[in-house]
Amino acid sequence: MVKNAFIFLILIGVAMILVNLFAGFTGNVDLGQIANHYVANGPAEVGSANIVTAVVVTYRGFDTLGEVTILFLSAAIVGFFLKIENTDNTERNLKYTSEILNTASQVLVPIMILFGVYVFINGHLSPGGGFQGGAIIASGLVLMFIAQPKKEIGHKLINIIESISGVGFVLMGLAGVLFAGGFLDNNVIGLGKFGTLFSAGAIPIIYIFVGLKVGSELTGIALSLKENQNEA
Amino acid sequence: MVGPIYIIAISLGTAFSLGFFKKANRNISFGLMFFAMAFVTFISGQWLYAFLSHQQETIQIFTAGFKPPFSISLQMGFHEAVFLTMINVLGLLSAIYLFDHLKEKGANMMMVFMLLFMGLNVVVMTRDIFNLFVFLEISSITLVGLIILEKKQDAISSGFKYLIASGIISQILLIGIIAAYYYGGSLFINDMVDSNLLFVKGGSVAVFLILIAVVLELKPFPANGWALDVYQSATPGIGAIVSGAVATTSLFILYKLLPIGGDAWLLPIGITGVISFLGSNFLGINQKNANRILGYSSIGQVGLLMIIMSLSKDLGDKFEFVFFSILISHYLAKAGLFWISGIINKDEIGQWNIIKNKPGLIVLTGVFMLTLLGLPPFPSFYGKWELIMNLAHSGNFTWIAIILLGSFFEAIYLLRWFGKTLMNNENSEELIVKFHKIFPAVISSFLILMFSFLTARWSGLMSVKYFIPFAIALLLFALDFLPVFIKNIMAIATVSWYSYVLIYQTYIPENDILRIIFGFIFLIGAILLLFPGFTFKGKRRGFYPLVILMFSGLAGLIEARTTFQFFFAWEMMTLASYLLIIRGKNAKKTSFSYILFSMAGAFMMFIGFGLAYFETGSISLNALADVLIYANWVYILVAVGFLVKIASLGVHIWLPDSYTEADDDVTPMISSILVKSGVFGLIILMLSMSLKNAASSNIPYILGWIGALSALIGNMLAIYQEDVKKLVAYSSIGIMGYILFGLSMMSHLGWLTAISYSIVHFLYKALLFLAVAGIIYRTKTRNIYEMGGLIKRMPLSFISVLIGIITLAGMPPLVGFAGKWMFYNAVILKGWYFQGAIVFFSGIVAFLYCFKLIHNIFLGPIKDNHRKLKETSVWWLIPQFVLIIGIMIISVYPKIILEPIGLYLSMYFPGEGLVWAGTTASTSLGYWDATQIMMVFAGMFGVIFIILFLMSRKVQVVEQFNIVFQAERPERPETTHYAHNMYAPYNKALGFLAAPFITNSWEFIYESFHAIGDQIRKFYTGNGQTYALHIVMYVVAFYLFINGGF
Amino acid sequence: MMEKLNIQNIGLTVGILVILVGLWGLLTQKNLIKIVIGFALFDTGTHILMVSIGYIKYRTAPILDEAVDIRNAAKLVVDPIPQALVLTAIVIGLGITALMLSYVLKMYQNKKSLEINNYKDLKW
């Protein structure tokens, strides 16, 4: 109890620091210099209608590469960590799921995957992108795991999709070095007509890779967790 | 050149494509990974080469084809290239080291391993703060993954602690970044440095959050329990990475981001460093787990580097040199030790003696530990020198004291550990060393040696000739497989060549009598004392390189013209002698106290030199004479270093056991030669005092008292010893007391006495120890009570001991008397009657143990098992008789040494000296003619000898054993000796003087250290939540400290 | 008073509160899962802060579709940078939370306990 009181005092200290941190906060009234550049010149330089996508994939594309790497690493570590080392040990005790979930999943899963693909292909035009699309795809697959716990999906396929899309992303980045202004420059295949599906240069391609990669990585994590499940 | 962007592209591409090979051959995966990492290392190395070899300019790499701040940019400059090369080389070596682990665990772990280094590379290069955050996360996630490379329970829970801790830290960083973006409008680090973030309300808090997160990444004490657990529980190959690559990178982040905080942040960073440096090293003293000690030491070193960073302004253009020499030493040595720890695979340092039979591993361990300690010739030595001297130059003595105190704590546990690795090993467990595990450590030690040479060159303090001894030592080390006979010849040849060059070519032409004398003692003495080496069988691994280093260290002292050269030689000599002593069978504990006292003394000397530099602005040894304002401080501090070496009262406790437990031919080397380095140092120091302000200073007076008491106590302790080597060892304390007393009189006669005593002490102490060692060589025992009656079996040794003790006791006709005569003259002229009386009294005490030495060993009945004993080996006798001849010559013609010394001294002490008329020396108090005395004595001796010889026919020979209890087995073997406990009555009367209260008080201090440390470290509860709380508390406390309130 | 009650300030306040609640959970709860939840809250609080900082009153999302006049876009949309950053931060937080949970799972499998006090094998 004394300890909790002490922690409370410390947290008051943290609160004071955070309050001080925003002591000078007045709320923006206008875009800053960099944001202004993105919004004003983004359409011309990058060709993406979604400025956030322009920032994520191109201006700060290097961050995104790191971000994908982090997910990739999490999936790899979780996969390694939770690998079932002795499979023949115990018969896993899995219950059957309800009829409703089963039926609904058969309808929903393909739609969800399709929607996920839509979201990442249109990432440069509308809200969304590779991460969101990938997450939707993974949600669909997770739904499938829940509905059909006995269904086995190999890690192998997931790994291969992951590797192909990862290598593809890096190669697109390198193409930027070789054919355009720098690593991850999207201006390698022409920007296309602003606002259409085939525009914004390499962004849709990169987002396809990201989407597939994120989808497979999240699925991989979920799969590893599922395989560790003993009672459901 | 290959652009730095390919570092990222290749690493990531390879890591992603390893997924294709998941189930396929793991050798292919490993091969790919290794190839990619090698290529990345090549890229960074090639940039480093470009920066070093020609004026390569710093380049910026823009991603996405836009310039910053609109896109993320990377920077490749000299500093980046250095850090990248360090990180990638370590990555490559770690990959080799972890080869079997990675192969066993498969492609997933290989990806993780590779991407750790990719992350660190980007963190070093990036100029965008959010990008830095992202890749920092990559490196902490990969690290968490690698912690569980071996899925041990404690590794898993420490991985969780690490996740929580690094999660909190990165959130703090993220909040700071986003607020800094709001206030500064940019994520580009260069913009952030230029912006006025610090002056905006709230902006300074954002800077605070960013910098505190970076500080926390450096695992500052005490908010670092999570990191220590990782060090302890992860496989040591990972420890090497954390300490070598991750800590290095974190330092670079601090270096990169510190400008955002401006100068106001330098002091807080320095204070953080101090707390880390002192705290971790202090708690390290109490640790027993090898990897955890390395963790503590690593955090301590990072603390030191933070201190250096915060003092960059004071260090000026030396900053880079200091920082990199210490960083690189730490990086290579710590990784090496982790790797060795992995090979040994024992948690407790007490079990490290498993490497006892692996000389290669011992050498590697030694190199790494001594590198961490900053001893010569390793790179950190130069770094530390420049650091201390430049701090001294700007008067930062508080910092100096802190740095040396922390270094001393570190020395305590590293050296204790080193001693433990050399402990005798009863356990016959065989250690299997795989090639790929030892290879990285070997490379690392080679790199250390290479950097030793390079830093020495870059420092500009050393000329190439100082590397000759190291080259010879290395050569001897390489030839260690040769039999001892050949190596002994080589060693003698080397020292002879050295003495020819030094004495004959340099000092005799310069007519520098002081250096000629000590050159003779150090080097001619060395040649003589190497002769008994011929009696040793086998290889004596490691002995000869160390002997060469020790003697060249001694020679270096004479050669030194600057305080740097002096300190270098001093440390080298100390180090080599420590390693020589530790070779003795039971010398682990005592060599530990020897090196601790020596290091403490050396640090004091270091501060003293720094203070002199502060005042005079010169590192010339002669400049010591120009010190006026801080004269007392300089002289006291420097003198302490020398007093330790001559084992003056209070700091003498290392000596008796060290002398006793060292190898039998090492003991004469250290007792007759090595201690003279302290005398030489004192002479140099006090000569510079004499020039200016001896009269006004109380130091000589205090030193005089120390000398007198050392003489008394040393001699008192000697008379009760039953161990013959210990007896002679204690007598050394006494004689060194005389010399100190003589010097501290600061008069012509006093110095004349002291210097001639130095020569004479060298002669008879070497003689006595050689004789004693020769006897031990035959009897195989050091206990006096197991000897007796050896006069008939070993008549030549008897003559040696007789001559030795006559000289020692100061009896006429030998030269010891001359010393005594001058001594009394000096005391009377000086007027130090009371101290003089003490010294006089201790002379009588000295007579007692001299008598014991000859009486109990050579006279009386012989032991049964000694009846067939032969005279000792000729190799022990040759140097003895050379020394006897030396004693005889200067006994008959003391003028040959006394007159030139007197002439030399009159330059410094114009007071009354000896007046020579023919062979007669006189002072105002009387005269003395050694040659005449010798002739008279020879005549008297001849007459008595003839009479005794004639009477000898009437002597009745006493039967053997007639004084031993008939058919009775004595309870204690000592009682079988006919003169056992002969000084019991004196012990009753004066034994209180010999009470070990000084030893006890030092032990009390040492124990208190342990007890305090044991209490403090209790706050590392092992609970991950508590560690998280520590981090939050650290942040709040730091905020309060910086802002003085909320 | 009402001046202050705009969306940014509400966002900031909520963010700070969520951070504090998360930290409280992280530091006081003894259950490993609850500690991870505490961390996730901490993470989310940070994200709320990030988004609030980028917001500009009366403006719309930085997507240049029919709703936004492209020539005058800079006057119509909110700051895209914090949004891009928060996307990255969310994904990173997700990865770390997943890792934490898998560690908790493994710890539980080994020791059959979710009590953090039972994991003090290493100390001093």
Q: What DSSP letter does each residue of A65-105 carry, written as one string?
A: HHHHHHHHHHHHHHHHHT--S-TTSS--B-PPPPHHHHHHH
Pairing of strands B73-76, B915-917: unpaired
- Residue range(s) defining the domain that contains residue A114: 2-227
Structure tokens at C12: 């900031």
Position B682 pLDDT exceeds 70 = yes
Bin A67: left if φ > 0, else alpha if -120 < ψ < 50, else beta. Answer: alpha
DSSP letter assigned to residue B670:
I
Higher pLDDT, B429 or B830: B830
A232 within a domain of the structure (yes/no):
no
**Residues 6 or more apart whose Cβ sits within 8 Å of residue B818:** B756, B891, B894, B898, B928, B930
Element (H, E) at B298: helix B290-310
Distances (CA, A) of B303 to B124, B809, B946: 20, 54, 77
**Dist CA B397 CA B384 (whole Å):** 14
The pLDDT tens digits for A81-108 are 887 665 555 556 666 778 888 888 889 9
**Residues 6 or more apart whose Cβ sits within 8 Å of residue B1008:** none
The pLDDT tens digits for B160-199 are 999 999 999 999 999 999 999 998 888 999 988 888 888 8
Residues 23-62 of C with CB under 8 A from B: 23, 26-27, 30, 32, 35, 39, 42-43, 46, 49-50, 53
Q: How many CB atoms lie within 10 A of CB B79?
A: 18
State whether residue C114 sits within 8 Å of chain A by CB: no
Distances (CA, A) of B614 to B280, B565, B681, B990: 30, 18, 21, 47
Chain A residues with CB under 8 Å of C27 CB are 7, 10-11
Chain B residues with CB under 8 Å of A40 CB are none
Chain B residues with CB under 8 Å of A33 CB are 185-186
The pLDDT tens digits for B850-909 are 888 888 888 888 887 888 888 888 888 999 999 999 999 988 888 888 888 888 888 888
Chain B residues with CB under 8 Å of C19 CB are 171, 175
The pLDDT tens digits for B582-615 are 888 888 888 898 999 999 999 999 999 999 999 8
Position C106 pLDDT exceeds 50 = yes
State whether residue B167 sits within 8 Å of chain A by CB: no
Say yes or no for a CB contact (<8 Å) between C55 and A28: yes
Nearest to A60 among B3, B71, B142 (CB): B71
Q: Which of C64, C86, C105, C117 to mutate against chain A (most A CBs within 10 Å)?
A: C64
Chain B residues with CB under 8 Å of A183 CB are 5, 8-9, 61, 63-64
Over residues B217-237, mean pLDDT: 90
Q: Which of B216-225, B334-343, C66-75 has the lowest mean pLDDT?
A: C66-75
**Dist CA B996 CA B142 (whole Å):** 56
Class of domain C2-62+75-118: mainly alpha
**Dist CA A37 CA A32 (whole Å):** 8
Q: How many residues in total does chain A contain? A: 232
State whether residue C84 sits within 8 Å of chain A by CB: yes
Q: What is the pLDDT of residue B470?
A: 85
Confidence of residue B339 (pLDDT cuts 50, 70, 90): very high
**Dist CA B254 CA A134 (whole Å):** 36
Q: Which of A29, A33, A34, A68 to mutate against chain B (most B CBs within 10 Å)?
A: A34
Over residues B471-486, mean pLDDT: 87
Confidence of residue B967 (pLDDT cuts 50, 70, 90): very low
Q: What is the pLDDT of residue B86?
A: 94
DSSP letter assigned to residue B434:
-
Confidence of residue A16 (pLDDT cuts 50, 70, 90): very high
Position A7 pLDDT exceeds 50 = yes
How remote is the C-alpha of C66 from its chain's centroid? Answer: 31
Nearest to C64 among A36, A51, A56 (CB): A51
Share of chain B above pLDDT 90, in %: 35
Q: What is the pLDDT of residue B1006?
A: 87
Mean pLDDT for all residues in chain C = 88
Q: What is the pLDDT of residue B88?
A: 95
Say yes or no for a CB contact (<8 Å) between C105 and A225: yes
Q: Which of A163-167, B54-58, B363-367, B983-987 has the lowest mean pLDDT?
A: B983-987
Position A152 pLDDT exceeds 80 = no
State whether residue B1015 sits within 8 Å of chain C by CB: no
Position C86 pLDDT exceeds 70 = yes
Chain C residues with CB under 8 Å of B129 CB are none
Domain count, chain A: 1
Q: Which of A157-171, B181-195, B530-544, B969-983 has the lowest mean pLDDT?
A: B969-983
Q: Which of B297, B515, B524, B500 shows the shortest CA–CA distance to B413?
A: B297
Structure tokens at B928: 């003395």
Q: What is the pLDDT of residue B982?
A: 78
Higher pLDDT, A188 or B318: B318
The pLDDT tens digits for B248-294 are 999 999 999 999 988 889 999 999 999 999 999 999 888 889 999 99
Q: Which of A121-130, B294-303, B367-376, B910-919 has the lowest mean pLDDT?
A: B910-919
Nearest to B157 among C46, C82, C107 (CB): C107
Q: What is the pLDDT of residue B966?
A: 46
Say yes or no for a CB contact (<8 Å) between C99 and B1025: no
Element (H, E) at B578: helix B563-582
Mean pLDDT for all residues in chain A = 84
Say yes or no for a CB contact (<8 Å) between B1023 and C39: no
Q: What is the pLDDT of residue B696?
A: 63
On whether the CB atoms of residues C15 and C43 are closer than 8 A, the answer is no
Say yes or no for a CB contact (<8 Å) between B178 and C23: no
The pLDDT tens digits for B395-425 are 889 999 999 999 999 999 999 898 888 887 7
A143 within a domain of the structure (yes/no):
yes
On whether the CB atoms of residues A102 and A148 are closer than 8 A, the answer is yes
Which residue bears the tokens 């003085």?
A: B1044
Sign of CA dihedral B784, B788, B794, B800: positive
Please provide the DSSP assignment of chain C as one string: -GGG-SHHHHHHHHHHHHHHHHHHHHHH--BHHHHHHHHHHHHHHHHHHHHHHH-BTT-B-SB-STTS-GGGGGGTB--HHHHHHHHHHHHHHHHHHHHHHHHHHHHHHHHS--BGGG---S--
A163 within a domain of the structure (yes/no):
yes
The pLDDT tens digits for B794-825 are 889 999 999 988 888 887 788 888 888 888 88
Structure tokens at B732: 């050394």
The pLDDT tens digits for B135-148 are 999 999 999 999 88
Position A112 pLDDT exceeds 60 = yes
Mean pLDDT for all residues in chain B = 87
**Dist CA B1022 CA C112 (whole Å):** 19
The pLDDT tens digits for B687-738 are 887 666 555 677 888 889 999 999 988 888 888 888 888 888 888 888 889 8
**Dist CA B526 CA B515 (whole Å):** 16
The pLDDT tens digits for C36-64 are 999 999 999 999 999 988 888 888 888 88
Domain ranges of chain C: 2-62+75-118
Locate the chain C residue with the closest alpha carbon to B187. C81
Q: Which of B134, B191, B200 to mutate against chain A (most A CBs within 10 Å)?
A: B134
